[in-house]
Amino acid sequence: MAGNALFDLTGKVIAVVGGGSGIGEAVAIGAAQGGARVTVIDANESAARTAATKLGGFSAAVDIRDSAAVANAFDAIVARETRLDAVVCTPSINVRKPILQYDGDEFDRVVGVNLKGSFNVLQAAGRIMTAQRAGSIVIFSSIRSLVVEPGQSVYAMTKAGIVQLVRTAAAEFGPSGVRVNAVGPGVVETPLTAPIKAHPEWYNAYAAKNALKRWARAEEMVGPTLFLASDAASYVTGTILFADGGWTAVDGRFTPPGM
């Protein structure tokens, strides 16, 4: 296989969890444009249905904190399509607070969606794919798996946990021909980051931190994600692909004189 055929998604059955908006919707649209048969899964039933209508795919309303609901949604895809080639999981939430101000409900809410939800998706997809002895799972992590700032404790913890979850799943599922990877976005304009955009000083500081000096568009996460889902990444597993505009490569904010 050579050239564009490596990236061809024609006929592949792909589920995009969180596909009702933001990065997930962009990935779902990109997968459909690449020829995949896409199911949009989202906690928001209306958003999932609307996104699926745009790309001519299917939809399902699922709260990823509910393991049985996740498993049922994937089983329904297999019943309809006979297989499941790739799953992309994008949902996450954040409560920005200092550690000493965090309460138990906030902790449980962030961990419940970001970590437990990702685990439920990974487990349900893994059961199907290891049985069919093929498949690719892509879970969204973040630059916060490596670097942090005040107020990001629980979010960063979950994003680092996702990386270790992905690595372990890659080790366990690999002998069955299943690949598992993570994507680590930097700052992306999505509903999750809308509160930051509302504060120009904050927004501009984030843009200045990365090498490209700007925020990413949700559409710019499509290529890295679909690369990992495609045959082009047939020997890539157990890793995180940072799509962060160079954020994690640039150390510090000061440019020395003469540079």
Q: Where are the domains of the chain?
A: 3-244
- Measure the CA–CA gap between 191 and 207, rounded to whole angstroms: 17
Q: What are phi and psi of 222, to 5 degrees?
A: -65, -50
What confidence score (pLDDT) does residue 251 get?
78
Q: What is the pLDDT of residue 191?
A: 80
Whole-prediction pTM: 0.95
State the pLDDT at residue 34.
Answer: 96
Instruction: Give the whole-angstrom CA distance, residue 53 versus residue 2.
Output: 32
Q: What pLDDT score does 5 carry? A: 82
Is 155 labeled as catalytic in the residue annotation? yes
Return the residue matching tokens 């495609």: 230
Reported confidence tier of residue 45, pLDDT bands at 50, 70, 90: very high
Query: Band of the pLDDT at 227, cuts 50, 70, 90?
Result: very high
Q: How far apart are the first and last CA of the chain?
A: 44
In this structure, which CATH number among 2.60.40.420, 3.40.190.10, 3.40.50.720, 3.30.300.30 belongs to the domain 3-244?
3.40.50.720
Which pLDDT score, from 0 to 100, does residue 6 have?
Answer: 86
From 155, 203, 206, 235, the catalytic residue: 155
Residue 2 above 70 pLDDT? no
Spatial separation of the C-alpha atoms in residues 211 and 250, rounded to whole Å: 7
Question: What one-character-per-residue DSSP string does 215-242 give?
Answer: PBPGGGGHHHHHHHHSGGGTT--S-EEE
User: For residue 257, is pLDDT > 80?
Assistant: no
The predicted pLDDT at position 240 comes to: 98
Question: What is the rounded average pLDDT for all residues in the chain?
Answer: 95
